Amino acid sequence: MHFGAMRVLNDDVVAGGGGFGMHPHDNMEIVSIPTVGALEHQDSMGNASVIRTGDVQIMSAGTGVRHSEFNHSASEDVAFFQVWIYPNEQDLEPRYDQEPYALQSSGVTCIVSPNGAQGVSIHQNSWFFMGQLEAGEKLSQSLHGRGQGLYVMVLEGDASVHGQPLERRDAIGVWDVEAVEIEANSGCSLLLIEVPMHW
């Protein structure tokens, strides 16, 4: 909770047939990233969709929206990350977007960006990356200017970030640097979230 403009990162698993009924949000950018299975979404803006593994969804709650999320399967689990980011403007018109993405065989892919040039658009100076590295591979992830920080989560495998060893589901936040150095100690998958530290 509370890494710069990131309010929270939820690592959720919902059993078959389970989910969350209609509930409200406002003034929050809500990003959902399924990693296993598919998630059904409905909201008060009239959107009804299925978000599958390989999709990224964003809901800008703005002045207020209600939505529900349920496992699309009656029997299989769905696993997804849901990240809440404080917006850079209050009381915006609610908005919804969903896009597929394709990971490279090695390296990271941008799935969320401020202008939507890559992935879905977010109302914040924030970028999300998903990716994977092979054992021994190194990545220097540049930040987008002063005042930015990077939250690095190892989804699977293990890696070192600025020399700090991280195992599966470990994470670390880094700021006051121009770039964050990542080295895969084994084959690993990563979620990187860049946010302003003050907004």
φ and ψ at residue 70, rounded to 5 degrees = -135, 150
| 12 DSSP β-pair partners | 80
Contact criterion met (CB below 8 Å) for 86 and 74? no
Contact criterion met (CB below 8 Å) for 182 and 190? yes
pTM recorded for the entire structure:
0.96
- Mean pLDDT, the chain, rounded, equals 97
Tens digit of each residue's pLDDT (9 = 90 or more) over 57-90: 999 999 999 999 999 999 999 999 999 999 999 9
Structural domains of the chain, with CATH: 6-100 (2.60.120.10), 107-196 (2.60.120.10)
Strand ordering across the sheet containing 55-60 = 6-14, 78-85, 29-36, 55-60, 95-100
Tens digit of each residue's pLDDT (9 = 90 or more) over 3-53: 999 999 999 999 999 999 999 999 999 999 999 999 999 999 999 999 999
| CA-based torsion, 177, 193, 146, 107: positive or negative | positive
φ and ψ at residue 16, rounded to 5 degrees = -50, 135
